[in-house]
Amino acid sequence: MAIGERILALRRELEPRGCRLIAVSKTQPVERIMEAYAAGQRGFGENKVQELVKKHEAMPKDIEWHMIGHLQTNKVKLLAPVVALVHSVDSVGLLAEISKHGEKVGRVVPCLLQVHIAAEKEKFGFEEPEVIDLLTSGTMTRFPFLRIEGLMGMATRTQEPGQLQQEFRRLRGLREALRATKLPDHVSMKELSMGMSDDYAIALEEGSTMVRIGTGIFGTRPPRDDLSNI
Ligand SMILES: *Cc1c(COP(=O)(O)O)cnc(C)c1O
């Protein structure tokens, strides 16, 4: 199947259930991303700031660029003017930096809080009690130039459907619990970014509102050597 056909097939599956497709275009060259664009895809996900910024400059301006990878505070400055949604906010320091640069460029930057749901230790994200503390402690008033729209999670790399279901269900449960509290200004719990190529069907069952799919659209990713092939 060609890129455009995969996009259309995925959207037919996702959209009736209120789920958006974020096409993960990291390491993919502009001409392959343009195939997805030609099929009507507008939301793309990148995990390196320089690459996202470069593609934003090179490509049509109605594309929404989503930052899905671990973000270092010193890269926020480049990202703040152009990003549609930062999925991977995983520390209070990052919240501070995003709000600071949002203020400088005069925009309220949309964000998700990344929550650690996988059994693996190395994956990034807040622990559940940290999220609850952050949203109930008054801390968010320090960050007026960002808006939190929901949660993001990455499941364990496993083929075990029961475990994946449990992890996604946990993230959804956290969102439901937060929704039942009085959330601070600039915080909603509308979005649940969960599900990748291998586990999106389970994430969808568990109420995902955004899936992040790369290889399932573009095939195997080219290696990331430098930005010259982009
Ligand atoms: C690369 C990546 C994806 C997409 O992975 P695929 O297996 O290619 O679908 C999704 N989310 C994040 C955070 C990623 O880094």
Q: What is the pLDDT of residues 28-49, one digit of tens each?
A: 999 999 999 999 999 999 999 9
Atom in ligand 1 nearest the alpha carbon of residue 88? 13
Pocket test for ligand 1, best of 7, 14, 21, 24 (most atoms within 8 A of CB): 24
| pLDDT tens track for 134-164 | 999 999 999 999 999 999 999 999 999 999 9
Residue 1 binned pLDDT confidence (cut-offs 50, 70, 90): confident
Residue 76 binned pLDDT confidence (cut-offs 50, 70, 90): very high
For residue 143, report the distance from its CA to the centre of ligand 1, in Å. Answer: 28
State how far the Cα of 200 lies from the Cα of 207, in Å rounded to an integer: 10
Percentage of the chain with pLDDT > 70?
A: 97
For residue 53, report the distance from its CA to the centre of ligand 1, in Å. Answer: 18
Pocket test for ligand 1, best of 196, 197, 202, 211 (most atoms within 8 A of CB): 196
Q: What is the mean pLDDT of the chain?
A: 96
Atom in ligand 1 nearest the alpha carbon of residue 68? 13
CA atoms within 13 A on the CB side of 14: 27
Q: Is pLDDT above 90 for 120? A: no
Q: Is pLDDT above 90 for 224? A: no
User: pTM value?
Assistant: 0.96
| pLDDT tens track for 181-214 | 999 999 999 999 999 999 999 999 999 999 999 9
* C-beta of residue 66 within 8 angstroms of C-beta of residue 87: yes
State how far the Cα of 8 lies from the Cα of 97, in Å rounded to an integer: 37
* C-beta of residue 132 within 8 angstroms of C-beta of residue 115: no
For residue 221, report the distance from its CA to the centre of ligand 1, in Å. Answer: 10
* Pocket (CB within 6 angstroms of ligand 1): 24, 26, 47, 68-69, 154, 196-198, 212-216
The angle at the Cα of 213, spanning 102 to 91, to the nearest 5 degrees, equals 35
